[in-house]
Amino acid sequence: MFGLISYIFSSSLLALSISAFVFTYFFSSTIKNYLDAQIYPSKKIHVQLPEQFLPGWSTSQYANSQNASQKLPNKITCIDPATGKILGHHPISSASDVQAAIEAASIAQKVWTNTSFSQRRQVLRTMCDFILDHQLEICQAACRVSGKTLVDAMLGEVLTTIAKLRWTIENGENVLKSSTRGTGFLMMYKMARVVYQPMGVVSAIVSWNYPFHNAFGPVISAIFAGNAIVVKTSEHSAFSSPYFLSIIQNCLAAHGHPKDLVQFITGYAETGQALVSSKNVKHVTFIGSAPVGRLIMKAASDNLTPVTLELGGKDCAIVMNDANLDQCVPVIMRGTFQNSGQNCIGIERVIVHQDVYDKFINLVKHKIPLIRQGPCLENTTNDHQIDMGAMVLSSNFSVYGSLISDALQKGAKLITGGKVFNHPEYPYGSYFEPTLLVDVTPNMDIANTEVFGPIMAVFKASSVADSIRIANSSQFALGSSVFTSDKLLGRQIAMSLKCGMVNNNDFAVNYLCQSLPFGGIGNSGFGRFAGNEGLLSMCYQKSYTEDIFSSISTSIPKVVDYPIENTQNAFEFTKNINTFAFGSNIISRIKAAITLGKLSK
């Protein structure tokens, strides 16, 4: 009885101690952030939302229509893919424009590099507060240029950006502070540190699928690390770039910092080439396809510019026979059809255990045809009854058709969808029906090609090993999901998958854990953004040593001082230093110390 009471008391005391530690840690961290925010408060800024982003905005100009305006030289014709409306025209950045942007950013960075972490946090707080206060307007801008729904914009554009801002505000300084390293026995009189310093002007070339978040993400990390950044936004989402850039630059200006620290440029391959090949750009982050990623890497190699490549994905969701289908089916539906499947970490392969294969198919085949498509910013009776938006690149529709045809010829079955959706009210919009393709096998083209569209491809697996085999058969290796009620099995499968990220019983939530690095392996690229690793990639890492005590420093023993009097003695001296410092036998180390003493005379 006494032993039981003692155990309960000691366990309670331990739990209380742990709780007190956790409370103290988070409380002190919260107090620190609170005080910092009081001393360096955010400010309200105003940025005008262009009229084209307002719901119900009308025009007589539609793409591919008889009354469409002519293409203008050196201009990008900007289109709303959900309706085909022509939003306007955006200038193409020439090579000289790119160079001017880099030079302006470089001048601003020389001022910004002297700011404190508190000053940088202040800018990010202002940015975060503006986003929170203008969530709808930002979603409207993203929806207008990418055709996504307001819900998809809120999740993929706003939520992810705020999560990154908050993590950087709360953790960025601790990540970038210089760190002490061990010196080892031989250098015990030294202090060794790693110092993280800004690179200067860095760059990012980002994709169109999430125009707000993809542009803001690299900016947040770059400027907090003390850099300037030039971002090449996609030509497909060019119309939103000035609005998004105004938000960032107004946040900087509100606190007296140079607006030129962040530059946006837009254009085609020539614009990107001018940016990547510049000697004054010290790092390149690229978000896009594997073929273009190879070109980026090749261009950057001329100046040995380091690159982070976030390329294509062919993410899988493995569904084991003990998976909770009521939980996993909605998650997989969201992972497949969110943003019309235009996600680098979208679920493109669903690998289902044979024991629950038919049940899974029966569940999704009734849900997928119910998905409603259309624009979310038009004044229609179904204005807010839209599940899935438009496709940015209608040129991919023929690719989808070819992939589906190849799969059908090799034994797959098309359950629903599989063709272009001609919207009755918006004939110039770009839509593809949500599609269910079953009995897919790894030898089919669709199993090895990044679709980037609303197609659920379902594979049948006979076992755990077969599931892993199918999952690892792709040349892409970005993220994945595993659904099972057995946590140990889920972990075992996760550790067997050749990819950069895995979520058990979920989809893509690792990206909301902003402390985690984001990236893949193989044809999905290399390098990481997000987390400590992403922030540190924006810095030069400098090794630094100094004497702990000013009275103790390195002096060259006479036996090895130039000119060396006796090279044999010098050799024996250095040999015995190795034995004394690193030998595993205590006797040999003592003998080496005696020899060193003799040779030092």
CA distances from 334 to 317, 339, 419, 456 (A): 12, 9, 20, 11
Which of 135, 132, 144 lies closest to 53, judged by CA? 144
Query: What is the CA angle 84-89-93, rounded to 5?
Result: 130
- Active site annotation includes 139: no
Which of 431, 426, 433 lies closest to 382, judged by CA? 426
* Helix-helix angle 135-146:117-133, to 10 degrees: 80
The active-site residue out of 137, 310, 378, 450 is 310
Q: From CA 347, how far away is CA 332, in angstroms rounded? A: 7
Tokens matching residue 163:
């999560």
Tokens matching residue 190:
């030294």
Which of 218, 197, 203 lies closest to 113, judged by CA? 197
Which of 268, 213, 275, 204 lies closest to 240, judged by CA? 213
- Active site annotation includes 78: no
Q: From CA 207, how far away is CA 238, in angstroms rounded? A: 11
Alpha helices in 321-381 (DSSP H): 325-337, 357-367
Q: DSSP for 393-421, please give it.
A: -GGGHHHHHHHHHHHHHTT-EEEE--SB-
* Residues 234/288, Cβ–Cβ less than 8 Å: no
Q: From CA 600, how far away is CA 511, in angstroms rounded? A: 59
Residues 558-578, buried b or exposed e (16+ Cβ, 10 A)? ebbeeeeeeeeebebbeebbe
CA distances from 282 to 117, 172, 279, 295, 538 (A): 21, 21, 7, 17, 9
Q: From CA 277, how far away is CA 55, in angstroms rounded? A: 41
Alpha helices in 134-240 (DSSP H): 135-146, 150-153, 160-176, 211-224
Q: From CA 220, how far away is CA 248, in angstroms rounded? A: 10
Q: From CA 466, how far away is CA 65, in angstroms rounded? A: 50
Q: From CA 556, how far away is CA 7, in angstroms rounded? A: 60
Q: From CA 204, how far away is CA 431, in angstroms rounded? A: 29
CB-neighbour burial class of residue 173 (10 A; exposed 0-12, middle 13-18, buried 19+): middle
Hey, is 50 helix, strand or coil? coil
Q: Are strands 262-266 and 413-416 parallel, antiparallel or unpaired?
A: unpaired
The active-site residue out of 78, 251, 316, 344 is 344
CB atoms within 10 A of CB 24: 10
Find where tokens 């024996």 sit: 572
Q: Would you please indicate which residues are annotated as catalytic (active-site) residues?
A: 310, 344
